[in-house]
Structure 1
C-alpha cells in the first residue's frame, strides 16, 4: 500500500511495531494470522477513521500479551517548555491515558463553566485560556507547596520610574521571576491586583532598604467587591468570584485611581486582560454593568463579545 502511495511513511511507522521479533513470535504462538492483521490495519489507515490507527495498533499489541505486567504509566510522562525571546512559551506534553484524562477533565471544567454568549474563540484558544485560568485559581488558592517558605506566585521586578511613566508602554522594562522581559504597561496591569514590595538599591546594585509588602487590594475590600458584583462583570461572562481579579476602573498608577469599592470591578483573567487592552467596563447608578469595545461600540447580550 505504501509503494502504491496509499499510505504515508508515518502510517507505516505506526504499523511497523507489529512485525517486531517478539511480536511475531507471540502471534505465531497464539495462531494469529499476521497477514490478516496487517491488512486490517492498512484498511484502518485508509479509512475515514485513520486518526485511530495508533489506537488500533496499541490494542492489537496489548492483546498479544493480555497477562503481561501492567507498565508504570508515570514512566512515559513528559512535559517540556521552551521559552522564546519575547518571554512567551511553547510546550509539549506526553501523558498516559489516565493522566491525560485528568488534564482534560480539569481543562474541560473551566471551558464549560466559561462560555459567554457570542464567544468567538477557537477550541484551542479556549483550552489555552482554561489552562492559564486553572493555574491562576491554584496560585490564588495558596494551597500549592511553598518555595523556600514563600507561596508560589508571579514575581515581577520593575524600576519605579518605569512603573510611574504611564506615557509609554516601556518595552522590556520589567523582569519576571523566570527571566522573561515584559513591558512596563503589562507590569502595571499585573499590579492592578497584587502585592507591592519596595526595594531601594545602592550604587553597587545591592539592596539598601527593603520595605514591607503592601497589598494593593486589601482582603476586606475584596470581600466587599465580591459581595457586590457576584461574578465577572464583563458583559456576557459569569466567571465566579474566585476566578477574578479586582480591577481598578481608574488605574491606580496611570490615573491615580483610588483603591475603593466605587473604583473596583471583578474581572476574570481573560477579561481583565481585555480591559487593559482597550475594552471598558462601567457601573451604572442603578448597579448594572456595561461593556464597550475599543471602537466605542457597546457589547450587548447576543452580539459577539470580541472583535
Structure 2
C-alpha cells in the first residue's frame, strides 16, 4: 500500500500518526508550525468524515450486535468512552453524509469540518426529507448550496442558512415542544471540576438569563475584580444554593437533595490543603481544604470503616448549626460579614471562626455569615474577626486589613 510495507490503509494511517506524535516540535519555526497545523486540521476533517461513514455502515449492518450492543451510539459510549452527546452526533452525522452526497464529498476532501456537518445534519432527518419531497424542494440543490456555505463562509453564516431553510420548510408547522429543545451535557474532570454545555429554547433561555442576571446584579461587592463570565458562574452556583436551601426540590435517592462529601477524619483535621482527599456524591475529587469549607455549615455523619474497607458503624447525622442557631446568627449579622459585601442572609453559609474539626464550638460567638464566594476566600487565607463592639473586620492572607471607605467620612 505504501513504501513502508503497510498492507492496509489503516496500518499506514496508524504508522503515520505514530510518526507525527513522535516528532519534536520545540525547535520548529513559526510558519512551519502553521503549515503543519493546517495540514492536520484538514486531516482531522477527513478522519471525522470517514469515522462517520464507518459508523453509518456499522449501523446498517447491525455490527454492534457482534459485541452485544443494541446501537452504535451505545457501542461508541461503552467501547470508546465517548460522551453520550458525541456518540449520538456521530450517528446522526453518518446518516446525513449518506443522504447528502455533495456534503459527503467535501467532508471526505477535508474542506468541511465535522462541526459544520453536524449543523447541516438536521436537513437530512427523515421528517425534513419528507417535507422537502412533499413541497418539491430540490434536495441535491440544497445539499450543494449548504456545502458551499460550509466550505467558504463563517460558521455563524452556516447556522443562519440552515435555520432559515428549516424554518421555510415548515412555516405553518405546529409550535415545537420547548422541552424537546432543551438539553444539558455534563463532563466531570479529574480535579473535580465540571464542564457543561447545552441548549435552551428561546423562552427557557430568557428565564435562565433573567435568573442569573438578577443574582449577578445583586452581588457586586466593593473591589470586585471578577470578569462578567466569572460573575455569571458564581451567580449560577448561588442559584443552586438558593434552590437547595429552600427544601422544595424533589427527593433524590430517598433524601432531600444536598451536596455529599466523604473524607477521612485525619485528612479533615489536617491543616494542609490535601489535594484529592475527598470525594463528592457525584464522583468528583476535591481537596481537604474544600471539604473543610463545606463542612462548616452542614450535616455530619460519622462512619467507622474496618480494615477491609467495609463500614462497621454508622452514627446519626448531626446538623452543625440547627435552625434556631442559624436564625440567631442571621438576626445578628443580617448579611455576609466580609468587608464590602452585603449578600443577603439567605445566600450565606454559617462559618465557624474556629473550625469544629479543630475544636471550635458550634455557637453564636464562634460563627459568622459568609456568602459562598467569601466563604471560599476565608478558607483560602483570608480571615474575619468580630470585635467586642459587634463590628466585623476582614484581613488578607498577609495580615493587612481590608478597609471599606465610609462615605460619611469623605471630606466635603
TM-score tier after normalising by the smaller chain length: 0.7 to 0.9
- Distance across 1 between alignment mates of 2:208 and 2:313: 44
Aligned to 1:273: 376
CA 69–183 in structure 1, closer or farther in 2 if over 3 Å, else same: same
Aligned to 2:301: 197
SS of the equivalent of 2:357 reads coil
CA contact (8 A) 1:117 1:302 kept: no
Q: Do residues 87 (structure 1) and 212 (structure 2) align?
A: no
Aligned to 2:246: 141
Aligned to 2:183: 78
Aligned to 2:321: 217
CA 73–276 in structure 1, closer or farther in 2 if over 3 Å, else same: same
Q: Do residues 234 (structure 1) and 338 (structure 2) align?
A: yes
Q: 1:300 aligns with which of 380, 391, 403?
A: 403
Aligned to 2:231: 126
Aligned-residue RMSD, C-alpha: 3.3
Aligned to 1:283: 386
Aligned to 2:349: 245
- Distance across 1 between alignment mates of 2:215 and 2:383: 24
Q: What per-residue deviation string (whole Å, max 9, x for no partner) do you get for residues 131-152 of structure 1?
A: 1111111111111111232111
- Distance across 1 between alignment mates of 2:121 and 2:252: 46
Q: Do residues 176 (structure 1) and 280 (structure 2) align?
A: yes
CA 57–302 in structure 1, closer or farther in 2 if over 3 Å, else same: farther
1:51 is displaced (CA, Å) by 6.5
Aligned to 2:210: 105
1:287 is displaced (CA, Å) by 2.1
CA 194–111 in structure 1, closer or farther in 2 if over 3 Å, else same: same
CA contact (8 A) 2:116 2:158 kept: no
- Distance across 1 between alignment mates of 2:297 and 2:237: 17
Q: Do residues 186 (structure 1) and 293 (structure 2) align?
A: no
CA 62–158 in structure 1, closer or farther in 2 if over 3 Å, else same: same
- Distance across 1 between alignment mates of 2:265 and 2:355: 16
Structure in which a larger fraction of residues adopt strand: 1
> Higher RCO, 1 or 2 (CA under 8 Å, sep at least 6)?
1
- Distance across 2 between alignment mates of 1:83 and 1:17: 29
Further displaced range: 150-159 or 68-77: 68-77
Q: What per-residue deviation string (whole Å, max 9, x for no partner) do you get for residues 32-71 of structure 1?
A: xx9xxx9xx9xxx89xxx9688568746753664322222
CA contact (8 A) 1:23 1:61 kept: no
- Distance across 1 between alignment mates of 2:353 and 2:177: 52
Aligned to 1:3: none
1:241 is displaced (CA, Å) by 0.9
CA 27–206 in structure 1, closer or farther in 2 if over 3 Å, else same: same
Structure in which a larger fraction of residues adopt helix: 2
Aligned to 2:102: none
Alignment TM-score, normalising by the size of structure 2: 0.60
Aligned to 1:157: 262
Q: What per-residue deviation string (whole Å, max 9, x for no partner) do you get for residues 140-176 of structure 1?
A: 111111123211111111122222233x322222111
Aligned to 1:262: 365
1:114 is displaced (CA, Å) by 0.6
- For these two proteins, the number of residue pairs brought into alignment is 280
- Distance across 2 between alignment mates of 1:132 and 1:61: 36
Query: Which structure 2 segments of 5+ residues have no match?
Result: 1-110, 407-412
CA contact (8 A) 1:139 1:153 kept: yes
- Distance across 1 between alignment mates of 2:195 and 2:120: 30
